[in-house]
């Protein structure tokens, strides 16, 4: 086979230029996997979407996220703050007031979240049909 000038046929060279895109998935302690686990969970996605372009209080977030417990929202907010995606501002007033907002880093993630939402909206009917076909076939097999 004729190769272009400057290319290499060595396996090591291919690995260097074309890394395994799933390498992180096999390593439990991989930082990329840990970050993806955090930002891709359903509660984090909702918080990031809700905070785009605005600041909300804890109670406002809880009211707008159907089904989330106070404990789960607290945990989600702490993890997102730890990862530098949201900032928590405590105002010295009585009663205490705490606001949450996306950091500049968190704002860069919003476009990715929005792309997922848009994809879901565009494909929800096809996914619903696939689920119905699967469920029907599963019922027939049972």
Q: Would you tell me how many other CB atoms lie within 10 Å of the CB of residue 131?
A: 10
Lowest mean pLDDT of 12-16, 52-56, 107-111, 137-141, name the range: 12-16
Give the burial string for 3-31 (b: 16+ CB within 10 Å, else e): eeeeeeeeeeeeeeeeeeeeeeeeeeeee
Q: What is the pLDDT of residue 8?
A: 46
Question: What per-residue confidence (pLDDT) applies to 44?
Answer: 95
C-alpha dist (Å) from residue 88 to 26, 80, 81, 101, 105:
34, 10, 7, 7, 14
For the entire predicted model, the pTM comes to: 0.72
Percent of the chain with pLDDT over 90: 61
Residues in the chain: 142
Q: Which of 73, 102, 74 is nearest to 89 (CA)?
A: 102
Domain extent at residue 120: 23-141
pLDDT of residue 28: 67
Does the residue 40 lie in any domain?
Answer: yes
- Tens digits of per-residue pLDDT, 114-135? 898 899 999 999 999 999 999 9
pLDDT value of residue 30: 81
45, containing H or E segment = helix 42-51
> Average of pLDDT values for 77-104?
96
At 73, is the pLDDT very low, low, confident or very high (cuts 50, 70, 90)? very high
- Three-state DSSP at 86 gives strand
Q: Has residue 15 been placed in a domain?
A: no
Looking at the 3D structure of the chain, how many domains does it have?
A: 1
Does 32 fall in a domain?
yes
Asked whether residue 77 is assigned to any structural domain, the reply reads yes
Residue 2 domain-assigned?
no
CATH code of 104's domain = 1.10.10.10
Mean of pLDDT over the chain = 85
75 falls within a domain: yes
């Amino acid at each position: 086979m004729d190769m272009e000038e400057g290319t290499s046929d060595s396996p090591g060279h291919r690995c260097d230029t074309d890394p395994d895109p799933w390498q992180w998935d096999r390593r439990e302690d991989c930082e990329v996997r840990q970050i993806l686990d955090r930002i891709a969970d359903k509660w984090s996605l909702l918080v990031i979407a809700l905070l785009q372009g605005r600041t909300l209080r804890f109670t406002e977030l809880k009211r707008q996220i159907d089904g989330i417990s106070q404990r789960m929202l607290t945990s989600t907010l702490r993890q997102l703050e730890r990862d530098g995606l949201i900032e928590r501002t405590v105002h010295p007033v009585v009663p205490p007031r705490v606001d949450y907002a996306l950091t500049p880093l968190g704002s860069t993630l919003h476009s990715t979240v929005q792309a997922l939402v848009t994809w879901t909206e565009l494909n929800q009917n096809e996914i619903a049909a696939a689920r119905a076909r699967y469920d029907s076939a599963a019922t027939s097999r049972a």
